[in-house]
Structure 1
Amino acid sequence: MKKNIIKSIVLFLAVTSLTSCLKDDSLVLDPAKGVNVIEFANPGQINVIGSIYPLYVQSYAVVPEVNRTITVSYSGPQSEAPEDITVNIAVAPNSVITEYNTNQNEAYELMPTSNYTMTTTSVVIKKGTSKASFNILFKPTSFDLGKALVLPLRITSVSSGTISGNFNTILLNVGAKNRIDGLYSYKTSATTSLVPNADDKDVPLVTSGANTVKTNLLNTYANIMVYSIDPVTNKVTVVSGLGTPVTDPVSNYNPTTKVMFVKWTSGTRSFEETFTYTGVR
């Protein structure tokens, strides 16, 4: 009998507690109490997930001017902005790049103002919408192809809502592509040292200078290889990457077929590589 009384008391307290909770307005989600967040929308794939700032890489052909669209977005308890929201944007200080370089062990440099034009520093996310965009005009012909240039952007203020803590600042690593830049199929000869008969697809040759490209051949030498192509003769020279490379004079780039053949040695090891262009990077 005593046990039944105790069980009844426990059940009563549990029901009373549940009823109290259901009546407690503080546990009911109120959309009006949510937070409106303003941030940069992703303009592409983040280069390194989890980095101190999101950095996006984009390369363009060497042309006088390229237009790139950057978007800011609203998110909140309502699917669309409840009012017009003015968003002010500015070029972030160079210290942002320094922080990123320290965090990721990189050597990016601030892009000179002569390399770009911001069409505006303020946009409005209209009531009933969730995004607003502006354009940046980049000038690839004025880029220093030997440098890794970054344009850091920051949302400085908004007329309503809260500026995102994670995407209030973004870094745009913008570069120009030289004539060799692209994706290539990659093959080595049967007599090549280390990895003979290699056969890889979509190997990137990335612009590192006006007439040089680099690639990270992790599947072959685990080294970053740098190749220089003479703009007049199209002769290829292995600049660096594995020991002290010595390039055979037969090494060349064919601008018609877009095939680069490289024969070289490093110490007692010999290499024959063929890069065949497959598409843009």
Structure 2
Amino acid sequence: MKKYISLAILSVSLLGLSSCLKNKNLVLDPDKSPSVVEFSTITDNPSGSGGGYTLYARAFDIDPAGVPSQFAVNYSGPSNAPSDITVNLDVDPAAIDAYNDANGTSYSLMPASVYTLPSSVTIKSGERKAVIDVTFKTANFDLNESYILPLRIASVSSGNISSNYGTILVAVNAKNKYDGIWTSTGTMVDNTTASLTGFYPYDYQMITQSATAIAAFDPVYFGTYIHMIKSGGNVSGYGSFSPVFTFDDSGKITSVVNIYGQPAGNGRSAAIDPTGENKITSGTPGTPGCVFKVKYFLLQPGTTIRTTFNETWTYQGPRD
């Protein structure tokens, strides 16, 4: 009886193993694994996914000469490339549509006029990688647009194109000299609700809105443009409100507006308080320790001053 039970268990075990091998498509012989060509994503941190595609983000300074950047394609096989492999490149606008539909975003295709991309690269015989040199003409970016460069491996002279990383989406932003991580300190007074108080100090990502404007983005709690506050001592924020600071050539802040509109859908606007210093008071933009001081209002409703801010912002360094 024990013999029959053992044989039955062995039979079931083998059947289960066979099923696992079939379902997982396991490769038992590495030397017979398929040769795949794909984009290398080792040095980038993905910032999103959707529609079958992965999104990566890069940000560059605004430079009239253009900003060089590099991507790479890899050969993944049992050994190095047995011969030269030509990798033909193009862009795939449909991938942006799929990503936007899946995530409710509104990224747009980067115009060919603001970047240069080679039509092909070669993975040399005996190697596993080829570098793709791309130049972004950031001075020509429309900073009101959210660009994606949808890089696609169109064809290869040998091997298979990866089903996962044959196309990648790269969100590319331009950064002005004020862009970076800034620590905000200061005071705020909400005239309608005494339990709402300032959340200071706090590190914001100040993200480029134009060649001379930046807006406050919270990278930790809400992951969006917002002004952080405390509500009864708890972390909170003013919804649909984030200040956009615009500087002139001398470093003076000429305006403060709400990134969500003047007013936003909830009636909130921003306005500069002319009694403040409202300028860079020390240091050089883009250099750690640079400081600007600014006073401004949250208006709600209409021109009614709901909240007064008196803040000092200190530059810490570039954002990723």
TM category, shorter: 0.7 to 0.9
* Corresponding letter in the other structure for 1:234: I
In structure 2, give the amino acid aligned to 1:228.
F
Residue in 1 that maps onto 2:198: 196
The alpha carbon displacement at 1:16 in A equals 10
> Would you say 1:248 and 2:273 are equivalent positions?
yes
Contact 2:188/2:307, CA 8 A, preserved across alignment: no
1:271 paired residue among 273, 297, 308: 308
Given the alignment of the two structures, is residue 239 of structure 1 paired with residue 258 of structure 2, yes or no? yes
**Scaled by the length of structure 1, what TM-score is found?**
0.82
Describe the superposition over 1:71-96 as per-residue Cα deviations: whole angstroms up to 9, x where unpaired: 001223x253344322111122x222
Q: Tell me by how many angstroms 1:9 deviates.
A: 5.3
SS of the aligned residue for 1:198 comes to coil
2:90 alignment counterpart? 90
In the superposition, the TM-score normalised over structure 2's length comes to: 0.73
Could you tell me which runs of 5 or more consecutive residues in structure 2 were left unpaired when the two chains were aligned: 15-21, 223-227, 230-236, 284-289
Provide closer, same or farther for how the CA distance between residues 66 and 10 of structure 1 changes in structure 2, counting only shifts above 3 A.
Answer: same
Q: Does 1:133 align with 2:131?
A: yes
Q: 1:13 to 1:121 in 2, by over 3 A?
A: same
Q: Secondary structure at the match of 2:31?
A: helix
Query: In the TM superposition, what whole-angstrom CA distance separates every residue of 1:128-174 from its partner, at most 9, and x where no partner exists?
Result: 32211120111111111221122211001112222111111112222
**1:130–1:10 distance in 2 versus 1, CA, 3 Å:** same
Equivalent residues in 2 for 1:11-160 (5 A)?
Answer: 29-42=28-41, 44-49=44-49, 52-63=52-63, 64-76=65-77, 78-92=78-92, 94-118=93-117, 120-160=118-158
| Residue type at the aligned position of 1:186 | S
Task: Find the aligned partners of 1:253 and 1:274 in 2 and give their Cα distance.
Answer: 10
Structure 2 counterpart of 1:177: 175
Count of residues in correspondence between the two structures: 269
Aligned pair in 2 of structure 1 residues 224, 71: CA closer, same or farther (>3 Å)? farther
Q: CA deviation at 1:18?
A: 9.8
Matches of 1:277 and 1:207 in 2, distance apart? Answer: 14
Which residue of structure 2 aligns with residue 22 of structure 1?
A: none
Q: Could you report, residue by residue, the CA deviation over 1:37-79 in whole angstroms, capped at 9, with x for unpaired residues?
A: 2110115211114563222222221112111111001223x25
Among 162, 165, 172, which residue is 2:163 paired with?
A: 165
For residues 198 and 185 of structure 1, the distance between their equivalents in structure 2, rounded to whole angstroms, comes to 9
Residues 1:280 and 2:318 are matched in the alignment: yes
Q: 1:12 to 1:208 in 2, by over 3 A?
A: closer
- SS of the residue corresponding to residue 141 of structure 1 reads helix
Amino acid at match of 2:294: F
Code of the aligned partner of 1:106? T
Give the secondary-structure state (helix, strand or coil) at the position aligned to 1:167.
Answer: coil
Per-residue CA deviations over 1:221-258 (Å, capped at 9, x if unaligned) read: 24451413142543231234571223312352317434
Dislocated runs of 4+, deviation >6 Å: 12-19
Whole-angstrom distance in 2 between the partners of 1:260 and 1:108:
33
Given the superposition, is the C-alpha separation of residues 153 and 240 from structure 1 closer, same or farther in structure 2, using an over 3 Å criterion? closer
Alignment deviations for residues 90-134 of structure 1 (CA, whole Å, 9 cap, x no partner): 122x2222222222222222222221112x222222233221112
Deviation at 1:278, TM superposition (A): 0.9
Of structures 1 and 2, the larger Rg is shown by 1
